[in-house]
């Protein structure tokens, strides 16, 4: 699976560290560690920070509602929130699998702006960047669909919180 983090960067090394320590050379989960759903164990880090609290989240670039999700484990523990993804199939699946969450098919940016979007069979490659479409074409990859999608602003979601609330903003988008 591709990540938006460059493989040689410090951020990649930091994100990959929990993963390397949780699996053996055959990629099997080591005994004594619990399973996680996110790509690099971000949900483990999150739950270690908040403990047994429940709260809310906004998951931008939510992707699939379970596999690879930064917010599914908190959801299983009683959290709920807003999932935002530009791929309608991901949003429809989230509405079925995570009924406590609000799932929106949109991009996050300026409010009510229509943006051109290229969707690929491997949804992680999907993009709103024309340069990225050209790069993928050089690798003989073509989008399965092209369409306009509305962008929304975080402000338009009407979120509010106090300093005592457990709230997480998860952003997993290209670039």
Q: Which of 5, 17, 76, 12 is nearest to 41 (CA)?
A: 17
Range in 34-43, 62-71, 73-82, 123-132 with the lowest mean pLDDT: 34-43
More confident: 84 or 4: 84
pLDDT reported for residue 10:
56
Range in 3-7, 42-46, 57-61, 163-167 with the lowest mean pLDDT: 3-7
pLDDT digits (tens, 9 = 90+) for 68-122: 999 999 999 999 999 999 999 999 999 999 999 999 999 998 878 899 999 999 9
Q: How far apart are CA 109 and CA 107, in angstroms?
A: 6
Which SS3 state, helix, strand or coil, does residue 118 take? strand
Taking residues 38-53, report their average pLDDT: 81
At residue 107, what are phi and psi to the nearest 5 degrees? -105, 155
pLDDT reported for residue 2:
42
- Distance linking the first and last C-alpha atoms of the chain: 15
Q: What is the DSSP letter of 155?
A: G
Q: What does the block give as tokens for 53? A: 């609290």
Q: What is the DSSP letter of 111?
A: T
* Position 24 confidence tier, pLDDT thresholds 50, 70, 90: low
Q: Which of 125, 119, 74 is nearest to 101 (CA)?
A: 74
Q: Which of 60, 118, 62 is nearest to 90 (CA)?
A: 62
* Position 33 confidence tier, pLDDT thresholds 50, 70, 90: low
Q: Which of 20, 48, 23, 26 is nearest to 35 (CA)?
A: 23
Q: How far apart are CA 69 and CA 172, in angstroms?
A: 10
* Position 131 confidence tier, pLDDT thresholds 50, 70, 90: very high
At residue 38, what are phi and psi to the nearest 5 degrees? -75, 170
């Amino acid at each position: 699976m591709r990540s938006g983090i460059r493989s040689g960067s410090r951020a990649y090394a930091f994100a990959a560290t929990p993963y390397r320590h949780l699996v053996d050379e055959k990629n099997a989960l080591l005994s004594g560690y619990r399973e996680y759903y996110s790509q690099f164990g971000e949900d483990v880090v999150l739950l270690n920070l908040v403990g047994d609290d429940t709260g809310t989240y906004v998951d931008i670039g939510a992707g699939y509602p379970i596999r690879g999700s930064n917010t599914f484990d908190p959801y299983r523990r009683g959290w709920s929130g807003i999932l935002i993804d530009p791929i309608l199939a991901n949003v429809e699946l989230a509405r079925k699998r995570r009924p406590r969450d609000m799932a929106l098919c949109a991009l996050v940016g300026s409010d009510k702006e229509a943006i051109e979007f290229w969707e690929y069979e491997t949804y992680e490659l999907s993009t709103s960047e024309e340069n990225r479409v050209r790069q993928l074409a050089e690798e003989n990859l073509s989008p399965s669909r092209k369409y306009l999608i509305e962008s929304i602003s975080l402000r338009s979601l009407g979120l509010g919180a106090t300093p005592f609330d457990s709230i997480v903003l998860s952003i997993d988008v290209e670039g």
